[in-house]
Structure 1
Amino acid sequence: MIIVTSKFDFNKFGLLLSKHSYQVKNNDILAGILIGLEPEYALIDLGLERICFLPLKELSLSHITNAQELLNINFIAEFFILDIKDNQRIIVSLKRVESIYLWNRLRQLDFTNMIIYAKIVKYLKKGRLAIFNGLYFFVLNSNIPKYYRRTNNQNLFIPFKFLEIKDSFHIAHISSTSAVFSKVNKNLILEAIYLGNIVSIKDFGIFINILGIKCLVHISEICQNPTIDLTSFYKRGDQISLKIISKDIERGKISITLET
């Protein structure tokens, strides 16, 4: 193993930590310098008694094909203490610091009325993995319109709205359905009459699409007999007249009734 030694003679902050017997722990962020580069990891000097290891998979949130294009001897940055092994081997991360800074920048935005466009990067059984501004979000299928769930376009950007942000866990819940609702909300007027297309028929009612919003007309709104076969009256694709009786802006849903 060949290690190229840097010109970095000492780390004043590291010496200060040693002077006061500070015990470095997981999740600390310390400034350091790269002193060597191997095929699978880089060697980092944080001014501590031991050299730290930066796995190349912890280099960046972005996909890096050639680490040497980004790293060089005497490269200086802040490093996240990822793990301290039993043998006192210290593992650090650059992408964790990047993630923290991106998250803090994201928190400064006004989420109330903001719609973002995120790229779907992975298709999972219960949802999709989307990326926005370098951060990854998992979106449940229930929060994605069926049109977007059916497509396999790898370069698809779709609208999302933030539902909830949990700072302590760096978790955000986002919904494409709510974003689509926000875009058409101004065109949905209470007590107004609209034409909707039937998209599916169930035992308990019919689902109808109005301006891209999927709504349910419960069987109790259609007939007094709860055991009636609705396919005897409707079929998929039929257009029927409906009245909007309420809007739930937070959940991105509307309540409708048949226009008689």
Structure 2
Amino acid sequence: MLLSITTSKFDFNKFGLILSKYSYKIKTNDILAGIVVGVESNYVLVDVGLDQVCFLPLKEISISPITKKIDLLNINYIGEFLILNINKNSNRIIVSMKRVQSIYLWNRLRQIDFKNITIYAKFGESLGKGKLITFDSLSFFVLNINIPKYYLKLNNNKLFIPFKFLEIKDSFHIAHISSKLAVFNKVNRNLVIGPTYLGNVTSIKYFGVFINILGINCLLHISEIFQKNEQTQNISSFYKLGDQIPLKIISKDLERGRVLVALDSN
């Protein structure tokens, strides 16, 4: 939705004069300079150079959780505001400061080497199959399958937990993160190819056995259990939960956080 710029009724907003001079058409998601001209109990009035003031709801003032957001702004406060909604029927324009903060924080996140860093954050609200975490005032959703069971059982919202970024989607401001991968990257240096390790069986699947070695779940694939000339049998008849098995590391996938092991023949 577009809205024509007209000269602001407030003389101190020179930005509005510039916009009207070039016949700029304002639209949603535009970011404009503005000045606070009124503070009410549940919203703030902002002049961004239009022929009417804009409404800034309290929930759109700050990205950070603040008890009294209204105390952040005073008359004549100058800042940047994103056009959130233009309603011609009600002649009301809604703006947001929170969205501007989010955009800048997101752009800053994109400038760091996110694939190679480990962040530490606390668990927040639980949502369905995952949890929210907050890092640098940005909220991210992490699936429970990407969280070690140890952390899920703790249920401690005060504990800082390591996370790694798996993927960032700029167009939607979405980031996929994993705590399992962060823990893996920290501990995997203790697992090297060559030595023999003792691991405990944690899960038995039709395709193989998952074994815990030094805190990392490793996969003993079915192809490593039965030789090519042997008839494949039910793995459960060979192993049970808690069994301790001597193993050797045969490969490590650092990007996926996976370790493949083989039986130690010695």
TM exceeding 0.5: yes
| AA at the equivalent of 2:234 | I
- Matching residue within 116, 128, 136 for 2:119: 116
Alignment of 1:167-178 (within 5 A): 167-178=170-181
Change in 2 beyond 3 A, CA 1:185/1:229: closer
User: Match of 2:244?
Assistant: 239
Unaligned runs of 5+ in 1: 1-7
Is residue 140 of structure 1 aligned with residue 143 of structure 2? yes
- Matching residue within 96, 99, 114 for 1:96: 99
SS of the counterpart of 1:24? Answer: strand
- Matching residue within 19, 26, 29 for 2:28: 26
- What is the CA distance between 1:23 and its match in structure 2? 1.2
Alignment of 1:121-132 (within 5 A): 121-132=124-135
Q: For each residue in 1:149-186, what CA deviation from the matched residue of structure 2 results, as whole angstroms up to 9, or x when unmatched?
A: 23321223211111222223322221111111111222
User: Match of 1:228?
Assistant: 234
Q: TM-score, normalised by structure 1?
A: 0.89
- What is the CA distance between 1:229 and its match in structure 2? 5.5
Distance 1:235 1:83 in 2: 60
Unaligned runs of 5+ in 2: 1-9
Is residue 257 of structure 1 aligned with residue 259 of structure 2? no
- What is the CA distance between 1:250 and its match in structure 2? 0.9
User: Match of 1:4?
Assistant: none
Change in 2 beyond 3 A, CA 1:225/1:85: farther
- What is the CA distance between 1:11 and its match in structure 2? 0.8
Q: For each residue in 1:41-67, what CA deviation from the matched residue of structure 2 results, as whole angstroms up to 9, or x when unmatched?
A: 111111211110111111111122212
SS of the counterpart of 1:104? Answer: helix
Q: Is the 8 A contact 1:15 1:48 kept in 2?
A: no
User: Match of 1:69?
Assistant: 71
SS of the counterpart of 1:68? Answer: helix
Is residue 184 of structure 1 aligned with residue 187 of structure 2? yes
Distance 1:204 1:153 in 2: 34
Matched residue count? 252
Distance 2:261 2:235 in 1: 21
| AA at the equivalent of 2:47 | D
Distance 1:180 1:62 in 2: 28
- What is the CA distance between 1:225 and its match in structure 2? 4.8
Alignment of 1:75-86 (within 5 A): 75-86=77-88
Q: Is the 8 A contact 1:10 1:47 kept in 2?
A: no
Change in 2 beyond 3 A, CA 1:123/1:225: farther
Q: Is the 8 A contact 2:204 2:235 kept in 1?
A: no
Distance 1:204 1:166 in 2: 33
Q: Is the 8 A contact 2:188 2:216 kept in 1?
A: no
Q: TM-score, normalised by structure 2?
A: 0.87
